[in-house]
Structure 1
């Protein structure tokens, strides 16, 4: 297993599970507690995430929900100004990740005050990994077709695996892409991917898992989004035990404890 370093933070075997807190500067994002349009309020939220235990803060510029039109690189770039101002205001210490699918936005963020990139389209823009390599930046590759308009739109575990195993940089973290990214992807597909999480360890790269309050968990426990935290925590401990190196979450404080249980009672950290 290759360990990835992101601005001094080691991610991978032999390291504790890293927590990625979430900040959205997009009005469309569905989880309101993580949405902030004002940089001062956003910075205060980031500091709260850091105090709760976030090692990484992932800043989203647009919702990847399939119901919304995809923003252009220019439109994302306009929103990036708020994200940059937010990070400049933060006093706490964390690794800052920008969520984007465009190399132009990734370059501007990395040239400002961001440390890594979270690519929700899985290198559909072939220049994006090159931008990250040129700046020696870690980058998350989410499993997706080679299409900038279809993030996460792969259903079969085999297709997800193949998408993640190809074209990686030396500092790539893989993400199997849980969630309702496309009409074809079902809750059963997410459950099957979760059951087979351990197979992705064969790719030899650290793995990020984003399952916080996801529909496939809500379906199991018959709970709506606001009441899915216990299910998310149970799944987090299982995911860590099955090989997750980073957990992306809106609920950092609670997820920290679940990840610690996974580290202590699972076998991932021993490599």
Structure 2
């Protein structure tokens, strides 16, 4: 297990994120709603085909209690097709601009591993960057985040969306994931990035069993002193284990999200905002 003395790191446990002047409190876990402007996202129920549809979905999610909206234009399901940076921008920038205009108080996240797409999205109105590549798929990402000084979600993954399913060999899963994330955190620290959220990467270069091992040990990731994001919504760790379709995986998603919250998750990334928000409210009520 990595040993990281909190006195020796700039990454102290934070209770707020500075989202371009908007302070987002993490004292109570937050719910991030997924907006996929892709034709091939792994969950068909999340696919949006136009800016207008994205605005309507954003309105519903905000009504249901979403604290953050995560907008993406590149499917990262295993074996997903490659999409150019230009096509990715063409998919998401109009939606970001429209949602920011319709809901100026909403906090928007851009789901991308490309620095150029991230920077254009921040200019269009997004407030944070959600990078499934953890800085490994675009060498310019960390410098871009440091220059923009926006919150950054650092996720663990190996390889690419096209190759990650073959990269699931670990000597010790939790230790190895922590070590790999800590190496990236050191680079971010040197660059002066202030707001980092940690995502252990459920479903990315992990088998179903490995995903549950990560969930069992999620509290171990708090050693790095960062807020934790859990993204398990309707993923294969739920529907494959239960032998069901993604469309029927809401109950299972609620179950694993409940465990994640009990183990210290600060943000739930979900397709079903209302149910996630209700889960947070009920669990908060049980705290002493």
Aligned to 1:167: 184
Report the Cα distance in structure 1 between the residues aligned to 2:264 and 2:287, rounded to whole angstroms: 9
What are structure 1's unaligned runs of at least 5 residues?
A: none
- Alignment partner of 1:23 out of 29, 35, 47: 35
Flag the 1:74–1:41 CA change in 2: closer, same or farther, 3 A. Answer: closer
Pairing 1:120–2:144 present: no
- Alignment partner of 1:10 out of 24, 30, 34: 24
Contact map agreement 1:96 1:116 (CA 8 A) in 2: yes
Q: Give 1:266 deviation, angstroms.
A: 5.5
Aligned to 1:225: 246
- Alignment partner of 2:59 out of 29, 33, 47: 47
Contact map agreement 2:72 2:92 (CA 8 A) in 1: no
Report the TM-score, using the length of structure 1 for normalisation. 0.88
Aligned to 2:275: 254
Flag the 1:151–1:75 CA change in 2: closer, same or farther, 3 A. Answer: farther
What are structure 2's unaligned runs of at least 5 residues?
A: 1-12, 186-192
* Matched residue SS, 1:118: strand
Report the Cα distance in structure 2 between the residues aligned to 1:134 and 1:143, rounded to whole angstroms: 22
Report the Cα distance in structure 2 between the residues aligned to 1:87 and 1:37, rounded to whole angstroms: 15
- Backbone CA RMSD of aligned residues: 2.3
Report the TM-score, using the length of structure 2 for normalisation. 0.83
Flag the 1:75–1:94 CA change in 2: closer, same or farther, 3 A. Answer: same
- Within 5 Å, give how 1:1-271 maps onto structure 2: 1-7=13-19, 8-12=22-26, 15-91=27-103, 93-124=105-136, 125-145=138-158, 156-168=173-185, 169-179=193-203, 181-182=204-205, 185-265=206-286
Q: Give 1:131 deviation, angstroms.
A: 1.3
Contact map agreement 1:22 1:248 (CA 8 A) in 2: yes
Contact map agreement 2:127 2:151 (CA 8 A) in 1: yes
Contact map agreement 2:97 2:125 (CA 8 A) in 1: no
* Matched residue SS, 2:110: strand
Deviations 1:53-101 (A, max 9, x none): 0000000111001222222323322323333343245336321000111
Contact map agreement 1:241 1:263 (CA 8 A) in 2: no
Flag the 1:32–1:246 CA change in 2: closer, same or farther, 3 A. Answer: same
Q: Give 1:146 deviation, angstroms.
A: 6.8
Aligned to 2:3: none
Contact map agreement 2:110 2:129 (CA 8 A) in 1: yes
Q: Give 1:147 deviation, angstroms.
A: 5.8
Aligned residues between the structures? 262
Deviations 1:191-229 (A, max 9, x none): 101100010011100010011122222344333212221
Which is worse superposed, 246-255 or 213-222?
A: 213-222
* Matched residue SS, 1:223: coil
Contact map agreement 1:101 1:119 (CA 8 A) in 2: yes
